[in-house]
Chain A
């Protein structure tokens, strides 16, 4: 899909995020909207995957380490054809497969069960290591949050990825600057992030993570090191009253807010 198509697809994904969290009455729209361009480019442009054959051995993998952005992952999977789009309305409901945080056992296309922050990157490291060991050229992509980077396990995994020279691993850091209690730099400062990752032996790029073309271009970059793309994003991106407002981390829009938000997306 080209950049123009991806822009349109990102809009559709955003619509699903808002509608599904509204229908659920809870969930995490803010951090789903901030990473929408990243996940859209991965699923509809970059990754080798087959929705008809979710366990295809040669596929690229995507691990959503910041598992609370499940509405985003589910929207991308549904739009890809892993399951019907209508299912998105069952998010977080009893009897639904779409759990509040991703469960790899119940949703085709979900590659790891995540939600307890800090764990997904280690899983992605294991995947990249396992694929390499078995001579596969599949790649592993992982999306981590900036607040999540306060977990020590992220840095254990960072150390391991460069130690094992995992050039088949690419991480996106959704740098939206916010976490539940407020601005990351106030809660527990993370900067200088680029220097930290570089010193851990990673290839570091910094981009506007809400720009489809910048995400596409960053993925073209080659390196023999594990790669991290620090994606500067806006939490709640695309919905003016959600943008940069911490409370939209884990609050669903009501019907009226949904209508307003969808109007803005048009």
Chain B
């Protein structure tokens, strides 16, 4: 049985660990510390934890100010509030001056579940990716989240780390380097490029598909690993899978590279330009056609 851990959990635990080694790390939240798991850090280091209340815009500004004094702020809330609600604050106060702020957002995508559309961020990758100076990371599982949190703490500059609510499969240990995609399976017919927990579904699809599938974990959406995309495009068609709108996210980022460097047939899988809805995470993944079977079907389509 595959072990299941939520990426937000791995985030909270790693942050609390890092707090011991690095006194520069400070953590901010907007009244969701239990859910984002920054509560683990808050419990260990109350003097370095700032609950900003339900005022996300102000939280981003405070994070920017803290960064100017040499501290390393990690600001967390749900992905909808961490990006859409505070877009201009991130744009002007963090990304433009390239301040060392880590925006770590939990509850991304439809797998937020029952809370429904208002709480399901399906645009956050697009919003963060379009900002100059911003690094955008969507780790595939708990192990990769741990490594990503350590990596962004070391990296000097604004980062967006996209985390999720539900428990998702823990994959085999993979190396992690910002901007360097992981090729998890080699194949010869077609490539599936995925991010977040869609990577585990891409692996299942590859195992079950009648074709020989290369599987790429594109954990860093920006800066994107062009070499791996071009290599894949030269081999054959590409399917991208993300728990995000089909507009502006991983699929778009891959298409930008493919169209300019090595055009090939593509299928972008994600939420098809619509809002989310209430339901259980697995029901929602079926509803929006983001299951392993859907990936197998998409592979067939591009191979046709």
* A interface residues, Cβ below 8 angstroms from B: 57, 61, 103-105, 111-116, 118-131, 133-134, 136, 152-153, 156-157, 159-160, 163-164
Contacts and interface: CB of A to CB of B under 8 A. Distances in A.
Nearest to A122: B61
Contacts of A119: 57, 61, 88-89, 92-93
A59 B64 CA distance: 18
A54 to B, nearest CB: 12
A153 B65 contact: no
Q: Main SS of chain A's interface residues?
A: helix
Interface centre among B48, B67, B97 (most CB of A within 10 A): B97
B175 interface: no
Given A112-B93, A112-B97, A127-B65, 9 more contacts: A61-B68, A105-B97, A113-B93, A116-B88, A121-B61, A125-B61, A126-B67, A130-B26, A133-B48
Nearest to A116: B92
A103 B97 contact: yes
B58 A125 contact: yes
Contact of B58 (A112, A134, A156): A156
B89 A153 contact: yes
B55 interface: yes
Contact of B96 (A61, A113, A125, A136): A113
8 contacts: A104-B97, A112-B65, A119-B57, A123-B93, A124-B65, A127-B69, A130-B65, A134-B70
A103 B97 CA distance: 7
A115 B92 contact: yes
A221 to B, nearest CB: 24
B57 A156 contact: yes
Contacts of B55: 153, 156, 159-160
A110 B67 CA distance: 15
Contacts of A134: 69-71
A19 to B, nearest CB: 27
Contacts of B26: 130, 133
B165 interface: no
Contacts of A104: 68, 97
A260 B63 CA distance: 45
A159 B66 contact: no
Contacts of A136: 69
Q: 4 tightest CB-CB pairs across the interface, nearest first?
A: A126-B65, A122-B61, A130-B69, A156-B58
Contacts of B97: 103-105, 112-113
Interface string B61-96: 111111111110100000000000000110111001
Given A122-B57, A153-B61, A160-B62, A112 B96 contact: no
B112 to A, nearest CB: 25
A157 B47 CA distance: 19
Contacts of A114: 92
A57 B68 CA distance: 10
Nearest to B91: A116
A160 B47 CA distance: 15
A126 B66 contact: yes
B65 A125 contact: yes
A123 to B, nearest CB: 4
Contacts of B62: 122-123, 125-126, 129, 157, 160
B60 A122 contact: yes
Contacts of A57: 70
A23 to B, nearest CB: 25
B70 A160 contact: no
Contacts of A122: 57-58, 60-62, 64-65, 89, 93
Contact of A113 (B52, B66, B69, B92): B92
A130 B61 contact: no
A151 B183 CA distance: 47
Contacts of B64: 112, 122-123, 126
Contact of B69 (A105, A118, A131): A131
A47 to B, nearest CB: 16
A57 B60 CA distance: 23
A230 B244 CA distance: 47
Count chain B CB atoms within 10 A of each CB in A128, A130, A164 and give the residue with the most: A130
Nearest to B92: A116
Contact of B68 (A127, A156, A157, A163): A127
A159 B93 contact: no
B288 interface: no
